[in-house]
Amino acid sequence: MVKGPTVYDVAELAGVSIATVSFTFRQPHRVRQSTREAVLAAAQALNYLPSGNARGLARGRTGALGIYSFDFYFLDDPASAGGAGTRAAAPAGSDPNADYRVFPLYVDEVQRGVALECWRRGYTLMVGGGNRTTGRTAIADIAGQVDGLAVFPRTVPVEVLSLISRRIPVVELSEPSHDDSLHHVTVDNAAGMHALTTHLITAHGLRDLQFAAPRDPWSDFQLRFRGFQAALAEAGLPVPERPVTEGDGAPQSAEALAAALLAGGRLPDGIVCAHDEYALPLIDALLRRGVDVPGRVAVTGFDGIVAGRLQRPQLTTVRQPMEQMGRTAAAILIDGFEDRTLPPQSRQLPVEVVLRESCGCPPA
Amino acid sequence: MVKGPTVYDVAELAGVSIATVSFTFRQPHRVRQSTREAVLAAAQALNYLPSGNARGLARGRTGALGIYSFDFYFLDDPASAGGAGTRAAAPAGSDPNADYRVFPLYVDEVQRGVALECWRRGYTLMVGGGNRTTGRTAIADIAGQVDGLAVFPRTVPVEVLSLISRRIPVVELSEPSHDDSLHHVTVDNAAGMHALTTHLITAHGLRDLQFAAPRDPWSDFQLRFRGFQAALAEAGLPVPERPVTEGDGAPQSAEALAAALLAGGRLPDGIVCAHDEYALPLIDALLRRGVDVPGRVAVTGFDGIVAGRLQRPQLTTVRQPMEQMGRTAAAILIDGFEDRTLPPQSRQLPVEVVLRESCGCPPA
DNA sequence: TTGAAAGCGCTAACAC
DNA sequence: GTGTTAGCGCTTTCAA
């Protein structure tokens, strides 16, 4: 609990120099067995525990990777504060069967991949993040303590990222949007959405499709939208020029979108959502308004989060290899740190269409 | 990517001392506005990013908590290497609907709680762990870099824990088993299992109940067993003296247990498992052998992991407030670090019986 | 309000 | 094989 013993204490007790103490732990073979034992005994007796900070400082590396998962998207969406997007604590006494909407999300599965790869290579993972309700940690605090940093898009201001990337490798888990000097890990968004859209058209005969996305979509969502458009064009169907969203001024929420779609009086045959977290509450909102899903309108997602399987009807989606993405990101960071000369990498992983009930397919 | 600028560089460019640079960032009000601006400008120009290690070393604190989630239980269980317990990578190309067995588990939900509380209080979380397949990180490496450490039971040798606890607060997420000097966060295991067992007896009329647990159960499991026994005793039913397990010599696995139960020819009415991760593969194994669950035999778990809801039949269990446990652990660590005089805390949280299909209740 | 200087605990040359 | 001795980059008295 208090100030612990240091190399000096151990050295003194063992009757050797501090260098020998250090060697004993880092390069045991370079130390004579008898002295090694003496040092170990002294360390044992004193409850010696080396300071990670001091080691990191002296060695110029920390043996840790960092990940920052603050979710700006939902942060910007006060209207969803009680919905799926909120990364806050589940309200006490809430339905123990309903909290799967909050965890695990996309970021959590990716993070797990990062952690696994870290451990495999002997690194630890430092995670920072938060949101409006939980509070947050500063990225600077974590950037200063790790050998590499993984971030989700729209999580940290670009200037800050490029600042950090001048010191340690940084990988962003998204399509490279602007010409940054960061590494990137992403998936084939366009192809995935194209395949899914084509399925809706050919297997379910849908003709009137819309793409639903948050009002301010980022690059990955844009690519998904392009894939959607391309599939419609190829099928000779009308191609929406832009995604449907919650209407200006209206609060950004599934409720608002559902209401808008119904008020317009022109509900499409299918609503292709930019991602699962957008589709799930939308399905709820439609159902609540008496709209049959998928009977009247099919709704699909993108990501493949666990909640989609617990949803009724089960969510048809495009699954990202989240764990693999995390692993890849970690691998890039570690390699990038150990060989400072590597140029920015950009890796794209494949996706997989997962057919479940919400598009009209039979239950699995 | 390379060695970044330091306080010295910034100080030189701004024409001040390093102390002033430090003050500018940590106690801005103590610095005259004009000099503050000069320092900030210099820092900006140089892409200055403070070193977390150096700060930690100088201040004697790191602003990070640690959690170690290496899972010894499954580690010791080679037979489950392809099963639910393995915390390895999901095999490539595997059924995208089947990996929920691997993530999120109990430890992941607790960890999330720890992370949330860390962020709320301005801390970061360093996670270490691993298993036989993924490799692992040494706890010493993480202990040396954090202000407090949370560990799951049987994850780290006790000697190591008490060594670490002499320097920083340590909370173990289990019943205090031996007289250690650690903090503890746990749940009312006995009451939970008692309530569940009573439900099986009174609501479903089961009379012949067995308790299934891994061969080497730890203290929490023992308490659950006691709760189970107490409920039987109160109902005037036969009370097993010990849990059923996989039989000596046999590989520890659900398959082995199922085979043993059937071979014995005396399948009970209900099998109360020590935790969900034990119940899930057991249900699979029974079903595979043509045994109807819950028709012929009811099977229940403990924990309330997500996989239990995706299981068919859905798993009846006792839910632990995992997020809350994590939050509590983090709070104890932070308080314990900030006030080194606090004695070891031991907090017990309530649990909740969750009735689903596997005990014979109707689907939710 | 700012500067000088002494650490924080460890690593890694470089000598012996 | 072991000791000496610089740092690593920042915080923090204590003086000025």
Which domains does chain A possess? 7-50 (no CATH), 64-76+99-186+321-349 (3.40.50.2300), 189-320+353-359 (3.40.50.2300)
Q: What is the pLDDT of residue A82?
A: 34
Q: What is the pLDDT of residue A136?
A: 79
Of B96, B112, B130, the CB nearest to A354: B96
**CA A346 – CA B160 distance, rounded (Å):** 41
pLDDT tens, position by position, B170-220: 999 998 877 778 999 999 999 999 999 999 999 999 999 999 998 877 889
**CA B3 – CA A167 distance, rounded (Å):** 7
Cα-flanking dihedrals φ and ψ of residue B210, to 5°? -125, 155
Instruction: Give the start-end residues of each E strand in chain A.
Output: 64-68, 124-128, 130-131, 135-136, 149-151, 170-172, 183-187, 209-212, 270-273, 298-300, 317-319, 346-349, 352-354
Q: Name the minimum distance, in Å, from the CA of A328 to any CA of chain B.
A: 12
Specify the DSSP element, H or E, that contains B347. Answer: strand B346-349
Q: Does A45 touch chain B (CB under 8 A)?
A: no
Torsion of CA B215, B220, B226, B229, to 10 degrees: -60
Q: Does A306 touch chain B (CB under 8 A)?
A: yes
Positions of chain B with pLDDT lower than 70, given as ranges:
1-2, 71-98, 132, 247-252
Q: What is the pLDDT of residue A346?
A: 95
Using CB atoms and an 8 Å cut-off, which of residues 86-115 of chain B contact chain A? Answer: 87-90, 92, 96-97, 100, 103-104, 108-109, 112, 115
**CA A210 – CA A238 distance, rounded (Å):** 10
| Beta-carbon pairs below 8 A across chains A and B | 216
Q: What is the pLDDT of residue A1?
A: 52
Find, among B191, B211, B196, B187, the residue nearest to B316 by Cα.
Answer: B196
**CA A226 – CA A250 distance, rounded (Å):** 25
Torsion of CA B213, B217, B219, B222, to 10 degrees: 40
In chain B, residues with a C-beta closer than 8 Å to the C-beta of A57 are 51, 53-54, 57
Number of CB atoms found within 10 A of residue B242's CB: 11
Of B103, B123, B309, the CB nearest to A97: B309
- Which residue is closest to B126 within chain A, CA to CA? A126
Specify the DSSP element, H or E, that contains B8. Answer: helix B7-14
pTM: 0.92
Q: Does B81 touch chain A (CB under 8 A)?
A: no
Nucleotides of C under 7 A from a protein CB: 1-5, 7-13
Sequence letter at residue B296:
R
Structure tokens at B165: 């606890």
Mutation to test the A interface, candidates B48, B49, B181, B340, most A Cβ within 10 Å: B49
Sequence letter at residue B346:
S
**CA B59 – CA A3 distance, rounded (Å):** 12
Using CB atoms and an 8 Å cut-off, which of residues 307-346 of chain B contact chain A? Answer: 309-310, 319, 323-324, 327, 336, 340
* β-strand pairing of A352-354 with A130-131: unpaired
> Tens-of-pLDDT digits for all 364 residues of chain A?
567 899 999 999 999 999 999 999 999 998 999 999 999 999 999 989 999 999 999 999 999 999 998 765 444 443 343 333 345 444 444 455 557 888 999 999 999 999 999 999 999 999 998 876 677 788 888 998 999 999 998 888 888 898 899 889 999 999 887 777 899 999 999 999 999 999 999 999 999 999 999 887 788 999 999 999 999 999 999 999 999 987 655 445 788 889 888 987 889 999 999 999 999 999 999 999 999 999 999 999 999 999 999 999 999 999 999 999 999 999 999 999 988 788 999 999 999 999 999 999 998 7
Q: What is the pLDDT of residue B51?
A: 93
